[in-house]
């Protein structure tokens, strides 16, 4: 367990946030931490949608259970937090 800095580019927000996370956090926990700084402040909540994490510029989401330590992030690397509609 170690503190690890990322930059959060949250969909619909115009502010990049420095996001301190733990290397043992899952991508779902990272998304929730990023949402804390954006949703309800500059971004409207989207009930029923899931927050997903991807590396900036990538089209592929990281697995929701992947841990920060497993993702290969560099310190202060920018991640994108994107809303995803649930699949039916």
Q: Tell me the residue range of the domain where 51 lies.
A: 3-84
Predicted local distance difference test score (pLDDT) of residue 54: 98
Predicted TM-score of the model (pTM):
0.92
Average pLDDT of the segment spanning 6-30: 97
pLDDT at 15: 94
Spatial distance between the Cα atoms of 7 and 57, rounded to a whole number of angstroms: 13
- Token readout for 19 is 């996001």
Whole-number pLDDT of residue 42? 93
> Which CATH number belongs to the domain containing residue 58 in this structure?
3.10.20.270
pLDDT at 65 exceeding the cut of 90: yes
Q: What is the rounded radius of gyration, in angstroms, for the C-alpha atoms of the chain?
A: 12
Per the structure, how many domains does the chain have?
1
Q: Compute the mean pLDDT over every residue in the chain, rounded to the nearest whole number.
A: 95
């Amino acid at each position: 367990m170690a503190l690890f800095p990322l930059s959060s580019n949250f969909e619909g927000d115009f502010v990049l946030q420095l996001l301190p996370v733990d290397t043992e956090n899952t991508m779902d926990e990272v998304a929730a931490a990023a949402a804390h700084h954006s949703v309800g402040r500059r971004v409207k909540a989207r009930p029923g949608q899931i927050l997903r994490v991807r590396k900036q510029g990538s089209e592929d989401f990281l697995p929701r259970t992947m841990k920060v330590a497993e993702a290969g992030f560099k310190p202060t690397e920018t991640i994108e937090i994107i809303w995803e509609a649930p699949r039916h």
